[in-house]
């Protein structure tokens, strides 16, 4: 068997170098732990970037996928399939939305949401110069449409020109949004909790002001719940905490808990007055295997009271992270909701994350100075205590170096 070093060298020769990967080759998982090919055990507080909500090697999940593989994996959207119909029904129930379009990823869901908003506006007035307001520091994906509404110029500049007529406002600053509204504005788009941009939750008043503006001017509110949705904040979708329902919503990541699947969803008003036959499509989206994953995930969320666990462990995680803020002068603050938390440092965090990995703890960043905590939603208080012990060891090493 090849060594970890050999596998990494082969990967660097074969894969396009678009990721600066950590120097570990992961092999298998169990619960909230991952193991590399040499058998080393890691406590995982990344969950595949907020994907593996149910933890690794859940037998019920595995069995459901195996059973579907033995039946049929793909048929195309020329035909109906029962798993997709069942998944759409369940998603409507938990999201309070009316129409579902299945995608293969979060970025594709954002692309579809943009198209739906523009078609809705086009059908109203026949114009093709409509504008979308997105937020600074946002992240919506790497495809051209999703990149166009991502509020970080460094991600966009090499790929200009983007799709046109995008304006950027400041998150949680209603005056900034208002100053960008014109008679061409067809949609306002933002993450209910910004992820890559630094774990910034939308403030309740901001959400309500934007929603009222949208209703007044028949502008569509699009909320990106790809990372913050699926129970991560202690609500199935983060907007449900405030009761501010979007016209269009995107979801992905934990929706399939490892199987690549996403969706954009909309109210009946948008569904009846936007995309129609021939406007949008996908070869793989909503295939029986992906839909089977959604079905078992939503069933397990309910059976295992996942959201109740997030509320309990999320508040405990907040408490423990707040203690770290008070103990170390190089940590400025904590922010986040539920099991989507960020520790904000006044220094880069790359070395801390590397030290943690060496000690058997998987963490990721959100920007250069923020450690992001997005563990599986099945974690216990003991898992949090174990994480804190390892993290404190790393922080103490940093403090002694200073």
| Residue 357 region by backbone torsions, left for phi larger than 0, else alpha for psi between -120 and 50, else beta | alpha
If asked whether residues 342 and 212 sit together in one domain, one would say no
Structure confidence at residue 2 (pLDDT): 87
If asked whether residues 282 and 372 sit together in one domain, one would say no
If asked whether residues 346 and 252 sit together in one domain, one would say no
If asked whether residues 277 and 397 sit together in one domain, one would say no
Structure confidence at residue 344 (pLDDT): 98
If asked whether residues 77 and 139 sit together in one domain, one would say yes
If asked whether residues 187 and 274 sit together in one domain, one would say yes
Mean pLDDT in the chain?
A: 97
Residue 365's H or E segment, with its range, is strand 364-365
Q: Is the pTM of this model over 0.95?
A: yes
- What is the rounded average pLDDT of the residues 343-353? 97
Kindly tell me if the per-residue pLDDT of 309 is higher than 90: yes
Question: DSSP letters of 179-231?
Answer: HH--TTEEEEEEESEESTTT-EEPPHHHHHHHHHHHHHHTPEEEEE-TTTTTT
Kindly tell me if the per-residue pLDDT of 336 is higher than 90: yes
Q: What is the pLDDT of residues 134-183, one digit of tens each?
A: 999 999 999 999 999 999 999 999 999 999 999 999 999 999 999 999 99
pLDDT band of residue 1 (cuts 50, 70, 90) is: confident
Q: What is the pLDDT of residues 282-292, one digit of tens each?
A: 999 999 999 99
**Domain finish residue from 280, 303, 326:** 303
If asked whether residues 151 and 290 sit together in one domain, one would say yes
If asked whether residues 341 and 211 sit together in one domain, one would say no
If asked whether residues 296 and 345 sit together in one domain, one would say no
Q: Compute the distance between CA of residue 187 and CA of residue 214 in angstroms, rounded to an integer.
A: 8
If asked whether residues 215 and 114 sit together in one domain, one would say yes
If asked whether residues 390 and 246 sit together in one domain, one would say no
**Domain finish residue from 303, 337, 367:** 303
**Domain finish residue from 270, 303, 336:** 303
CATH number, residue 178: 3.40.640.10
- What is the rounded average pLDDT of the residues 6-32? 96
- Spatial strand order in the sheet of 370-373: 331-337, 340-345, 370-373, 364-365
Structure confidence at residue 322 (pLDDT): 98
Q: What is the pLDDT of residues 235-258, one digit of tens each?
A: 999 999 999 999 999 999 999 999
Structure confidence at residue 239 (pLDDT): 98
Residue ranges of alpha helices (H) inside 54-142 are: 59-69, 82-95, 106-125
Share of the chain above pLDDT 90, in %: 98
If asked whether residues 89 and 129 sit together in one domain, one would say yes
Integer-rounded Cα Rg, in Å, for the chain is 21
Q: Which range of residues forms the domain containing residue 267?
A: 60-303
The number of residues making up the chain comes to: 402
Structure confidence at residue 189 (pLDDT): 98
Structure tokens, 314: 């999320």
Structure confidence at residue 240 (pLDDT): 98
Count structural domains, the chain. Answer: 2
Structure confidence at residue 402 (pLDDT): 66
Structure confidence at residue 400 (pLDDT): 87
Q: What is the pLDDT of residues 186-228, one digit of tens each?
A: 999 999 999 999 999 999 999 999 999 999 999 999 999 999 9
Give the β-pairing of 185-191 and 220-224: parallel
Q: What is the pLDDT of residues 63-102, one digit of tens each?
A: 999 999 999 999 999 999 999 999 999 999 999 999 999 9
CATH number, residue 12: 3.90.1150.10
Query: For tokens 């200009």, what's the residue?
Result: 160
């Amino acid at each position: 068997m090849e060594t970890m070093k050999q596998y990494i060298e082969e990967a660097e020769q074969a894969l396009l170098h678009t990721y600066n990967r950590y120097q570990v080759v992961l092999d298998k998982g169990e619960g909230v732990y991952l193991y590399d090919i040499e058998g080393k055990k890691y406590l995982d507080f990344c969950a595949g970037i907020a994907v593996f909500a149910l933890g690794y090697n859940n037998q019920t999940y595995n069995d459901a996928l195996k059973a579907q593989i033995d039946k049929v994996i793909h048929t195309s959207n020329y035909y109906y399939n029962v798993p997709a119909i069942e998944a759409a029904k369940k998603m409507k129930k938990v999201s309070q939305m009316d129409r579902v379009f299945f995608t293969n990823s979060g970025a594709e869901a954002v692309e579809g949401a943009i198209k739906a908003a523009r078609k809705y506006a086009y059908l109203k007035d026949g114009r093709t110069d409509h504008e979308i307001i997105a937020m600074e520091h946002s992240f919506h994906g790497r495809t051209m449409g999703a990149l166009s509404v991502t509020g970080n110029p460094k991600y966009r500049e090499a790929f200009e020109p983007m799709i046109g007529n995008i304006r950027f406002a400041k998150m949680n600053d209603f005056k900034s949004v208002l100053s960008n509204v014109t008679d061409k504005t067809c949609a306002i788009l933002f993450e209910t909790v910004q992820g890559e941009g630094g774990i910034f939750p939308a403030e309740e008043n901001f959400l309500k002001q934007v929603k009222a503006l949208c209703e007044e001017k028949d502008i569509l509110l699009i909320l990106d719940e790809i990372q913050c949705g699926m129970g991560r904040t202690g609500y199935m979708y983060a907007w449900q905490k405030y009761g501010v329902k979007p016209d269009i919503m995107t979801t992905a990541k934990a929706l399939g808990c490892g199987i690549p699947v996403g969706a954009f969803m909309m109210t009946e008003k948008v569904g009846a007055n936007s995309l129609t036959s021939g406007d949008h499509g996908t070869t793989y989206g909503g295939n029986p295997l992906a839909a089977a994953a959604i079905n078992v995930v939503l069933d397990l969320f309910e059976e295992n009271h996942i959201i109740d666990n997030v509320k309990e462990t999320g508040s405990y995680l907040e408490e423990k992270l707040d203690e770290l803020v008070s103990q170390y002068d190089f940590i400025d603050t904590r922010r986040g909701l539920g099991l989507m938390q960020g520790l904000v440092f006044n220094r880069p965090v790359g070395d801390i994350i590397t030290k943690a990995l060496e000690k058997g703890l998987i963490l990721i960043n959100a920007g250069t100075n923020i450690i992001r905590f997005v563990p599986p939603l099945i974690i216990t208080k003991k898992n949090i205590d174990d994480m804190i012990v390892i993290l404190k060891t790393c922080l103490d090493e940093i403090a002694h170096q200073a």
